Structure 1
Amino acid sequence: MVAGLMANSLALISDAGHNLTDALALAFSWWALRIARRAPNHRKTYGYHRAGILAATINAVTLILISIYIFYEGVQRFMQPPEVQGWTVLSVACIALIINLTVAWLLHHDSKDDLNTRSAYLHIVGDAAASVGVIIAGLIEIVIGWRYADPLISMLIGLFILVSSWTIIKEATNILLEGIPDGLDMTSLVRDLMKQPNVEDVHDLHVWTIGRDYKVLSCHLIVQCECSLQDANRTVHDINHMLEEQYHIHHATLQIESESCELNQIFCANPNARN
């Protein structure tokens, strides 16, 4: 930030602001991971898995606010482009790039399975991309002295941050609204449930995500009238095994019935309907 003010570079200032929020985001993500490891209790029967989702959402919102500020400042500088000290911009941005790439490498593996860690990882990747942009802006300023390079690169950085933040908010919102987990095909799931021995129908089917790839399922299964209790238990066991192996659903609540739902639908429209 100090170097950006001294060099009069919006690209470097925006990169500094992004790095500052990333430091806070990493601390917030670490805190959320600590909270998420707490055991369930009588008030939080699912535990604190959603803490990471909340952290990811807050991180993404801060990135969007930063993007808006970068766009605003970029427009102002396009109108009156100031003189920028290219060598200062170039040297500081190179140091930032090395640090960001190192942190991104450390976070890359865990970012695949956890939304909270992925939001922090995208913060750092955004920083690395921003540093590359600042380096380019510095080189252009040094070689040809084109003053529009600094605000232009800044706005491109803001656009990149905006796009990456939107994907995090979209996924986090889907989880908080208990939507179907990404990549899960409900039609295939129903078909696989219907293939199980003794199952005649499936309804009141719900699948949602608690956090960190923690998928939950509940449904009502209509079994054959002549099906014994032992056969029904075996069917439930087989379905649980199938859900774990094929859909990575490790928490399923299956209700066995011998009559169809009054609404006769796979997804019951009325949650209070008698079954």
Structure 2
Amino acid sequence: MSLLEIQSLSVTLPVADGERQVLFDVDLTLEEGETLALVGESGSGKSMTARSILRLLPPRARVDGSIVFDGRSVLDADPAELRELRRTQIGMIFQDARSSIDPVRTVGDFLTEGLLIGGMSRKDAQARALQSLDAVRISDARARMRAYPHELSGGMLQRVMIASVVQAGHRLILADEATSALDVTTQAEVVGILAELQKTHGLAMLFITHDLDLAASICHRTAVINRGRIVEVQDSDALYSAPTHEYTIQLLASRPNPAGRNTP
């Protein structure tokens, strides 16, 4: 059994004049230690798919199909089970770290909160948080623990978000456009950190991006989504060199041709 199995996932959201279906029969699997890219243009359903995995959906959203993580149904989980799943098993890195961290609390408060809730002593929680900051290459970690979000750059805050996921021991990371708001140099650094941590800890990762070049460079497989439907899933290199769906071909054609790769 795969670590994550999504079958026939459909999501319908309430809108002003009724309802709107945004995902249509999505099927995806993710193995232990695998990195799967989910690519598509803005509004294609990438983030909605990731949010569905953790049931981070608006009130009155209707979800059909199944999402099974490590043999357990996510859609059937009660509130306590869902909180535990989010706290210890599946972590999410959002696109804008600044909007995801409480601006009036320190980085240390943000990193230790979940550990304290889980029963860890404050001393041990602080030590774990310092270790996680070191793991994502944040220098002078003890001083950063005392800092507030507005005192850190966007790239530094994204590293803090990654640290919060790693220290919790999550088995699956949902990285939702985790690098798109960063400059090119910082983006490369963050991608390198994610790839290194994924390899070191054997984490599975769903890497959401609109950038097929980036997906091909770090992900084992790539799934392409268009208008709420998965249109193609292949090994990343194979998809890049020999796409089978017209939408994938159009996505590739819209990108600059990287050195060393052939245009399909």
TM-score, normalising length: structure 1:
0.22
- Comparing both structures, which one devotes a greater share of its residues to strand? 2
**With CA pairs under 8 Å and 6+ residues apart, which has the higher RCO, 1 or 2?**
2
Considering only CA atoms, is the larger Rg found in Structure 1 or Structure 2? 1
TM-score, normalising length: structure 2:
0.23
